[in-house]
């Protein structure tokens, strides 16, 4: 059977791996022998990695009790162990109970403060950051303590320095530290004014943008999580200090590549924020092909939330002349939008009607009107007149039919049942 995750007490504070040969240093903290020997004798450090206190000596005392407990835990989780058997009460309550109180205390606030103090100097940045993220994930109290202890500022500095050291991304270890620092920030709520101000500072937002553009899939997701949280906090406009062109291109590339559903979903969220906040973002998005990408995605979209967000983006882009022109030029645009009407959700129908309103009434073109007739969009508009819908949606539908009804009823495919109905509307 699968092994459970080992308790935190069994993991070396340096490598965050299960300790094979636990030894204790003069400060009372236990490490795996291989990791602490590397710290002391390869890197030449003279402090305790967890507390950063000077070591009075370099003696490494074997922790037989912890080793015995780890061995017992491994035996209980091995396939040869009976799944129905359970350790005796005395086994659970003796050595491990003796360890829990002092060691778990060391993993609390003092360990957190010590870890923050060490983070900027340690050569094990990735490991230390992973440790921090694991401790805070799902622990609201620990997250609050981390923020109150200045953790956002420290991790922001580490992320900025790692980006500088990585150069163009060729230094893998430094860039990995940058990615892991962003992962720590993404765990936090980032809702307080101080945290928002720190993240929006140029030295911190710059690496977030770098991860968005060239990070791993997970790092890009973390970068977008950070941006979304900053936006939701209402404490500042993250688009003010970044190159919007690069942001839009990176997000559209993510959508085009379809790396994962989760990445695409988050990219849509951030794009909605960008085109709403940033001046000139709509025209820039149209210029780099956003309308084309959205139409292609919409044609294949099955998820309701994805469909609604794409329609909302198309609506926003079609409010500018460049967006309406790009929409009219795409051969599948009207068909993709019409497909969502009376099919996906009430909201998608409302948004689809708004998009068609913008391209057929605000700036009509002969091609759009013809496509609306041939793709079934007109039939669905006529159908909307006979079902309950939002007042604004109904008004736009009636207006479109009144304005263009004379043109549409000239087509042989126009439903004969509605010819007399159009006369009544006129």
Angstrom distance (rounded) from CA 145 to CA 264? 33
Token readout for 236 is 């500042």
Residue the block writes with tokens 């553009």: 213
* pLDDT, mean of residues 287-301: 95
Minimum mean pLDDT range among 109-123, 298-312, 339-353: 109-123
pLDDT at 252 over 90: yes
pLDDT at 417 over 70: no
Q: What is the pLDDT of residues 23-38, one digit of tens each?
A: 989 888 889 999 999 8
Q: What is the pLDDT of residues 129-166, one digit of tens each?
A: 888 888 788 888 888 888 988 899 999 999 999 998 88
Q: What is the pLDDT of residues 372-403, one digit of tens each?
A: 999 989 989 988 888 888 899 999 998 998 88
How sure is the predictor about 123, in pLDDT bands with cuts at 50, 70 and 90? confident
Q: Given this model, what pLDDT does residue 297 score? A: 95
Question: How many CA atoms within 13 Å lie on the side-chain side of 338?
Answer: 21
- 410 Cβ neighbours under 8 A, 6+ residues apart: none
Minimum mean pLDDT range among 139-148, 167-176, 299-308, 399-408: 167-176
Give the chain's mean pLDDT: 83
Token readout for 138 is 């799902």
Q: Given this model, what pLDDT does residue 421 score? A: 58
Distances (CA, A) of 234 to 193, 196, 247, 312, 366: 9, 9, 20, 21, 43
Q: What is the CA radius of gyration of the chain?
A: 30
Distances (CA, A) of 289 to 95, 137, 315: 64, 38, 15
Q: What is the pLDDT of residues 60-106, one digit of tens each?
A: 999 888 888 888 888 876 554 444 444 433 333 334 333 333 444 44
The residues pairing with 24 across neighbouring beta strands, listed in sequence order, are 30, 61
Q: Which helix (H) or strand (E) holds 22?
A: strand 22-24
How sure is the predictor about 1, in pLDDT bands with cuts at 50, 70 and 90? very low
Minimum mean pLDDT range among 102-106, 193-197, 411-415: 102-106
- Cβ proximity of 318 and 326 under 8 Å: no
Q: Given this model, what pLDDT does residue 261 score? A: 84
Q: Which helix (H) or strand (E) holds 205?
A: helix 202-214
Q: Given this model, what pLDDT does residue 92 score? A: 34
Backbone angles phi, psi at 54, to 5 degrees: -60, 140
Q: Given this model, what pLDDT does residue 17 score? A: 84
Residue the block writes with tokens 């085009």: 256
pLDDT at 424 over 70: no
What's the CA angle centered on 332, arms 326 and 335, to 5 degrees? 115
Q: Given this model, what pLDDT does residue 353 score? A: 96
Angstrom distance (rounded) from CA 88 to CA 137? 31
Token readout for 40 is 């002391």
Identify the structural domains of the chain with CATH numbers, from first to last.
Answer: 8-62 (3.30.40.10), 109-236 (1.25.10.10), 239-376 (1.25.10.10)
pLDDT at 341 over 70: yes
How sure is the predictor about 198, in pLDDT bands with cuts at 50, 70 and 90? very high
* pLDDT, mean of residues 205-231: 92
């Amino acid at each position: 059977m699968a092994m459970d995750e080992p308790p935190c007490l069994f993991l070396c504070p340096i490598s965050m791996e299960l300790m094979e040969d636990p030894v204790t240093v003069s400060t009372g903290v236990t490490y795996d022998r291989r990791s602490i020997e590397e710290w002391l004798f390869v890197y030449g450090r003279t402090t305790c990695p967890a507390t950063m206190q000077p070591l009075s000596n370099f003696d490494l005392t074997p922790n037989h009790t912890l080793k015995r407990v780890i061995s017992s835990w491994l035996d209980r989780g091995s396939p040869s162990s009976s799944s129905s058997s359970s350790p005796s009460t005395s086994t659970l309550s003796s050595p491990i109970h003796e360890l829990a109180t002092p060691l778990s205390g060391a993993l609390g606030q003092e360990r957190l403060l010590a870890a923050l103090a060490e983070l900027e100097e340690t050569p094990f940045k990735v490991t230390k950051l992973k440790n921090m993220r694991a401790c805070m994930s799902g622990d609201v109290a620990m997250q609050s303590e981390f923020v109150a202890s200045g953790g956002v500022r420290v991790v922001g500095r580490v992320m900025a320095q790692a980006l500088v050291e990585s150069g163009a991304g060729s230094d893998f270890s430094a860039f990995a530290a940058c990615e892991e620092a962003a992962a720590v920030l993404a765990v936090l709520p980032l809702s307080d004014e101080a945290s928002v101000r720190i993240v929006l500072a140029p030295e911190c937002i710059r690496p977030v943008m770098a991860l968005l553009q060239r990070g791993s899939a997970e790092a890009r997701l973390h970068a977008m999580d950070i941006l979304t949280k900053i936006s939701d906090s209402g404490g500042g406009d993250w688009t003010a200090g970044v190159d919007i062109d690069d942001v839009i291109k990176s997000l559209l590339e993510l959508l085009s590549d379809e790396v994962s559903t989760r990445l695409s979903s988050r990219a849509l969220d951030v794009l909605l924020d960008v085109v709403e906040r940033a001046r000139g973002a709509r025209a820039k998005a149209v210029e780099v092909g956003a309308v084309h990408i959205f139409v292609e995605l919409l044609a294949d979209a099955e998820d309701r939330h994805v469909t609604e967000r794409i329609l909302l983006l198309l609506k926003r882009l079609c409010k500018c002349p460049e967006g309406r022109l790009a929409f009219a030029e795409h051969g599948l645009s009207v068909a993709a939008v019409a497909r969502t009407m009376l099919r996906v959700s009430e909201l998608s129908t409302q948004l689809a009607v708004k998009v068609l309103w913008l391209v057929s009434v605000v700036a009509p073109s002969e091609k759009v009107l013809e496509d609306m007739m041939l793709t079934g969009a007109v039939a669905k508009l006529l159908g909307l007149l006979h079902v309950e819908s939002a007042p604004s949606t109904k008004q736009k539908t009636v207006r479109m039919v009144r304005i263009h009804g004379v043109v549409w009823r000239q087509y042989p495919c126009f439903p004969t049942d509605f010819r007399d109905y159009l006369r009544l509307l006129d």
